[in-house]
């Protein structure tokens, strides 16, 4: 994918803040600090378009980015960050849930897992939720640069056991760019609808 332009559009908490224009959107979802923002930067070949952070739970709104004036990437706030208050967790839930349930422009979701960790309950819940609502998605295991080749294939098998053939699975690293072409290919399929 040739990226000609990639610009921050807007941040929104509620539906009236979502961008208008009807362009198709791809949302990035995953646990807090899993590497969502880094993945978007890597895909777009931009170092700092999306703010990344060592402190989990920094992305607290839906962040919309316009790509090539053709489609939109949505960086969703991460889930499962223990240090935020119950109220904040609930507001996360309703913020993301409202988006996923109502957004007509949503072409699909990139569900991001940390390649070093097993599926957590929150990850399973998200995948079940998406399947249940017939929202298309793919799964990307990120940070594979931290694993040996054999650990990567072990992890892949583990995820596939749960995922089956319900969605594509891609092993990825924002640091090395591994899996980037494959991920773009899968995203293009979602954009094409």
Ligand X SMILES: Nc1nc2c(ncn2[C@@H]2O[C@H](COP(=O)(O)OP(=O)(O)OP(=O)(O)O)[C@@H](O)[C@H]2O)c(=O)[nH]1
- Interface contacts to ligand X, rule CB under 6 A: 30, 32-38, 52-54, 56-59, 78, 142-143, 145-146, 173-175
Minimum distance between the CB of residue 35 and ligand X, rounded to whole angstroms? 3
Residue closer to ligand X, measured from CB, 156 or 161: 156
**41 binding Mg ion? (CB under 5 A):** no
Find which of Mg ion, ligand X, none residue 180 binds, CB within 5 to 8 Å per kind. none
Minimum distance between the CB of residue 75 and ligand X, rounded to whole angstroms? 7
CA distance 46 to 61: 20
Of the candidates 6, 25, 34, 37, which one interacts with Mg ion according to CB under 5 A?
A: 37
Whether the CB-CB separation of 19 and 64 falls below 8 Å is answered with yes
Residues 82-101 that bind Mg ion (CB under 5 A): none
Residue closer to ligand X, measured from CB, 37 or 155: 37
CA 19-88-83 angle, 5° bins: 125
Q: Which residues of this protein are in contact with Mg ion, per CB under 5 A?
A: 36-37, 59
């Amino acid at each position: 994918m040739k990226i000609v332009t990639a610009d921050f559009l807007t941040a929104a908490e509620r539906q009236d803040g979502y961008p208008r224009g009807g362009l198709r959107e791809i949302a990035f979802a995953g646990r807090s600090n899993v590497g969502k923002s880094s993945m978007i930067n890597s895909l777009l070949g931009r170092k700092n378009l999306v703010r990344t952070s060592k402190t989990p739970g920094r992305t607290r709104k839906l962040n919309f980015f316009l790509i090539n004036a053709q489609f939109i990437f949505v960086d969703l706030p991460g889930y499962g960050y223990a240090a935020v208050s119950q109220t904040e967790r609930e507001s996360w839930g309703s913020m993301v849930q409202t988006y996923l349930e109502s957004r007509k422009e949503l072409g699909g979701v990139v569900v991001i897992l940390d390649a070093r960790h097993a599926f957590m309950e929150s990850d399973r819940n998200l995948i079940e939720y998406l399947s249940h609502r017939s929202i298309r998605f793919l799964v990307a295991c990120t940070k594979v640069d931290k694993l040996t080749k054999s650990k990567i294939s072990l992890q892949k098998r583990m995820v596939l056991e749960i995922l089956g053939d319900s969605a594509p699975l891609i092993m990825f690293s924002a640091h090395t760019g591994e899996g980037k072409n494959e991920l773009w290919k899968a995203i293009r399929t979602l954009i094409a609808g």
